[in-house]
Amino acid sequence: MSFSRVAAWKQEGWIAFFLWLLPFVMIGGGIGYLLVPPFVPNEKESAFPDVSVLLTGKEVLPLAPGEDFEDKAQTFVRQYLTTPFSLQIADASPSFYTPEEMGAVLDMPRLKKLVASVLDPSSALIRIHQQKKAGKPIILPLPIAIEHDRAMAFLLHLKNRIDRIPRDARLDLERRQVLPDEPGRRMDLYATLGCLEEAFSSGLNQAQVVVEVVQATRTSSLLHGILIDDVLGYLETRYVRDLKHEERTFNLRLAASKIHGYVLLPGETFDFNEVVGPRTEVNGYKVAPVIARGEMVDGVGGGTCQIASTLHAAAFFAGLDIVERRPHTRPIFYIKMGLDAAVAYPTITLRFRNPYPFPVVLYETVVKGIVRAEILGPARRQTTTFVRRINEVLPFPERDQPDPQLPVGERLLVQRGIPGFRITRFRVMQEGASAVRERFNDVYPPTAQIWRVGTGNPNLPCITEENKRPEYIADEYLQITQGPTVHTPRSQEVEKGGGMVERKFPGKYGTYGWTVREGLARPLVDVGGRLKPQEEAAVPSKLVLP
């Protein structure tokens, strides 16, 4: 056998052997591939950037043995949310709250995205850092969200503490001095919220409350040289001074103090609610009787209407433009019907305008049972007349309230009924040979007469005090004139602003007993048919009782 044939035979053998072995190698390799787990790089070891990562100013990377990146980041954020945060408030001392108290919460989806970005070398976060800040620590923004409703509730509470209404310059009428104006301040809610969001995102522990200074309308410079030599218009009303009405008297003085010395510049409009402000316990007002839907009830700030009514009458006689004024829902005993002015914060107010080319000053005091309002200015030249005519009366309804605390058959008057009135008012302003007349119409709804009717045991004692208010009377025609040419009857003094004269025609409605005579009411009688004490002088002796 030749050498070449032997070599060929050997080569063919090796090929055959290899072909025989190949399937076994492939099967073994496949089994080995399936049995051996694939290699997965450890993100916590190999995927972390080669620089430190900071969150809330603390190093969140690199990790200590056994630490988890996401858990560690969560811990840092939660610690920040419960750490005291300083709020810088204008020139006051800082206040401290936690971000959590201010509405901040952990934004978990955002935290997960930040973690993923740090671990991904191709993320925008890593690429930008390598381009601009290579070798420096990566500073992560805080993954914090703000719950809007909670944050706004917190900021509104803060705003109530911070906001201060500017105080206009005033005249101290007793010392004849100008009291300087005081600027106010107003917190900007949304600008402050923006500052908080920025501070939270940056991990800061303080932020500035954005406060705007509000300047007073009337500065001290405007008030120098004001003439208050005379009284342009005035009126007095009376109030009860006993202990039962102590809270009401307090409210009278508090409301009057807001008005006393107020300067009304030419063309300006005075707004009672704006100047006096909310009648709340926070502002110092006390609970006292007020009129609500024609009935007397207890309410905070009771008595304020008397201040407004007296001031309205003074402005009326001073010739100021009455811009807005509402009558009460029932006639008032302390002032003539037609001169009153109802106020209720913030919906019902009194507004009047200064039509003169000079400033006027409001004066109102509460002293020894008398509320006195004046409008002060230069020498008074105008005489003003108030005229009121009753056009129609409206009967009042009667209502019984069953009361098991009263014996059967007993009737106690809780609220005295007052008829309604439709009236016409005039204001005549005369200066020299010229005169101006204005006409107004008012409606006063009737006030229900309310009885408590006993339904209880007939042996029960009757200890409830009855309403002793007398019948309301009003002259059918009334005229009041006030001015420099008028002299007050039986007065020995020359009054500033002139005197005041009242002329009236009682007519049908100006004497006691008129509601019975006109068929609008029955006499008040007890269970035995006898006249109640408040009726004895009012009902004519010849009247036949039912």
Angle value at C-alpha 228, between 364 and 439, nearest 5 degrees: 65
Q: How far apart are CA 480 and CA 502, in angstroms?
A: 4
What pLDDT, on a 0 to 100 scale, did the predictor assign at position 338?
97
Burial of 479 (0-12, 13-18, 19+ CB in 10 A): middle
Q: Which two tokens stand for residue 455?
A: 């339904």
What pLDDT, on a 0 to 100 scale, did the predictor assign at position 49?
63
Residues of the chain with pLDDT under 50: 1, 3, 6, 9, 39-46, 537, 539-546
Of 233, 302, 304, 274, nearest to 500 by C-alpha is: 233
What's the chain's average pLDDT?
A: 85
What pLDDT, on a 0 to 100 scale, did the predictor assign at position 464?
62
Of 198, 226, 193, nearest to 210 by C-alpha is: 193
Q: How far apart are CA 365 and CA 429, in angstroms?
A: 26
What pLDDT, on a 0 to 100 scale, did the predictor assign at position 259?
94
pTM for this one?
0.69
Classify residue 20 by its DSSP letter. H
